[in-house]
């Protein structure tokens, strides 16, 4: 009995230590996410330095897509619906919030924390970079849309990247294998579609959208790394991306920590 109690106390202590390290890693991931992605850093340098080839690319794409939008009101209306309703950041963040509450109901505490931190960190880091860079939005004749604030990176593109990554990495274990490829396709097409609508409506440059995608991926990669490190701390194997972050969620609740950990 004494030995059993000692083992139980040791297991509880190790679990608490793993939880503390998990929280520390989440916070550390948030702190370094904005500068962890080399591709984003290079793009940021080009944007801030006003690299002419990139400027020409942005302007050419903006003018061509704007011409289509001005001459085709039906097309423009469809873009507005997709950008401002279906893929709106408020809608996507609300969906992540609902998913987080559902995870709490399932007692998947750490997965809920990961989803919430990933979504909130993405929004705050994107806002911080916008404030620092202070890039102006496209100024086109006869605009078909308006948006407040600065331009780089695209908040829509970044929110879509972090949100659909959360959906994928949380829900994949519960998606039948036959439906996983369509699930991935819908997610990727949604992220790409968000970026396209923002450029086509003339409220972002192409480089704004690419910057949002890259920075969003950096946030997801780092917080997912923190979650996987916690799994290693408590003795669970690292899950492949195709199985989501917590494959044990399929059985109803996450698998309890293994004995002796």
Integer-rounded Cα radius of gyration of the chain: 21
Start-to-end CA distance of the chain, whole Å, equals 18
Q: Is 156 a catalytic residue?
A: yes
Nearest Cα to 169, choosing from 103, 75, 87, 255? Answer: 103
pLDDT (0 to 100) of residue 59:
92
How much of the chain, in percent, has pLDDT values that exceed 70? 76
Residue holding tokens 């942005």? Answer: 58
pLDDT (0 to 100) of residue 1:
57
CA pair distance 112, 90, nearest whole angstrom = 19
Q: What is the mean pLDDT of residues 78-82?
A: 92
Instruction: List all residues 6 or more positions away from 229 whose beta carbon is below 8 Å from its beta carbon.
Output: 21, 22, 25
Give tens-digit pLDDT for 127-185: 999 999 889 999 888 888 888 889 999 999 999 999 999 999 998 888 888 888 999 99
Q: Identify the active-site residue in 66, 80, 146, 156.
A: 156
Per-residue pLDDT at 253 exceeds 60: no
Q: How does the average pLDDT of the chain come out, rounded? A: 81
Q: Identify the active-site residue in 66, 80, 146, 204.
A: 204
- For the entire predicted model, the pTM comes to 0.79
Identify which has the larger pLDDT, 109 or 14.
109
109 to each of 100, 112, 140, 253, how far by Cα in Å?
9, 5, 47, 10
Q: Is the peptide bond before 261 cis (omega within 30 degrees of 0)?
A: no
Nearest Cα to 254, choosing from 103, 99, 108? Answer: 108
Write the DSSP string, 132-189: HH-PPPP--SS-S----S--SS-HHHHHHHHHHHHHHHHHGGGS-HHHHHHHHHHHHH
Nearest Cα to 50, choosing from 133, 106, 116? Answer: 133
pLDDT (0 to 100) of residue 173:
85
Identify which has the larger pLDDT, 97 or 257.
97
pLDDT (0 to 100) of residue 260:
43
């Amino acid at each position: 009995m004494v030995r059993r109690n000692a083992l139980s106390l040791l297991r509880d202590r190790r679990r608490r230590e793993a939880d503390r390290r998990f929280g520390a890693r989440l916070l550390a991931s948030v702190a370094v996410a904005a500068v962890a992605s080399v591709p984003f850093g290079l793009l940021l340098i080009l944007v801030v330095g006003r690299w002419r080839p990139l400027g020409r690319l942005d302007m050419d794409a903006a003018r061509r897509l704007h011409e289509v939008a001005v001459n085709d009101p039906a097309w423009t209306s469809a873009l507005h619906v997709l950008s401002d309703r279906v893929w709106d950041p408020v809608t996507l963040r609300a969906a992540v919030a609902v998913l987080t509450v559902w995870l709490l109901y399932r007692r998947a505490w750490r997965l809920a924390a990961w989803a919430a931190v990933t979504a909130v960190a993405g929004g705050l880091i994107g806002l911080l970079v916008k404030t620092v860079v202070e890039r102006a939005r496209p100024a086109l004749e006869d605009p078909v849309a308006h948006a407040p604030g600065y331009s780089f990176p695209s908040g829509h593109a970044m929110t879509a990247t972090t949100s659909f990554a959360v959906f994928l990495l949380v829900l994949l274990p519960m998606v039948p294998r036959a439906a996983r490829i369509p699930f991935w396709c819908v997610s990727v097409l949604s992220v790409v579609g968000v970026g396209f609508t923002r450029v086509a409506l003339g409220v972002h440059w192409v480089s704004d959208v690419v910057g949002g995608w890259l920075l969003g991926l950096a946030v997801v990669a780092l917080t997912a790394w923190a979650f996987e490190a916690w799994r290693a701390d408590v003795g669970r194997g690292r899950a492949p991306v195709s199985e989501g972050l917590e494959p044990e969620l399929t059985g109803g609740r996450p698998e309890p920590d293994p004995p002796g950990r």
